[in-house]
Structure 1
Amino acid sequence: MSGFSIRPIFADYLAIYHGETKAAIIYPADDAGRLAVYPNPDAFPGLMFDGLPAPLKPAFEPFDSLEAIADRFGIPAHELEAIEA
């Protein structure tokens, strides 16, 4: 188990949680269909997002799909089924 999970937070937005900490926000797809992951500045303050858990990086990161995000964070595919339904 990776310690990460993906949960809906509002409207078209999802979040990556590390335990019970909202570690990052997953922004809706852009015009090219890519999702963006950005660290949660409320949980990790400062320009370098102090305390940010790996594999999160202190920048916007584009992903081709929710599955690609889950793979990067070690989240089992079956956990995405409830989100995508």
Structure 2
Amino acid sequence: MTTRTTQMIVRFSAPFMLPVFDAPQPAGDYRVEQDEELLEIPSRLAWRRVSAFIHLPAIGIDSHTHQMVPIDPADLDAALEKDHQQS
């Protein structure tokens, strides 16, 4: 099966929490990588997200440690929607 990895930057205007975090993360821009696999659909290309990772800390935050944390893409979508509703 064909797979690809896409990268994007997401912005949170307020601290946010995802189920895999021990504590809320501060507002800021975060790099997210998503792995997708090609679906076999006749006459068109379609991709399905199969995993996602968020890079911690936020872009521009100095830290001695950097993490790439696996997250559920649906949890990220819900957190972004909540953040946009609050701002």
- Could you say whether these structures have the same fold, taking a TM-score greater than 0.5 normalized by the shorter chain as the test? no
Higher strand share: 2
Point out the structure with max Rg over C-alpha: 2
* TM-score normalized by the length of structure 2: 0.42
* TM-score normalized by the length of structure 1: 0.43
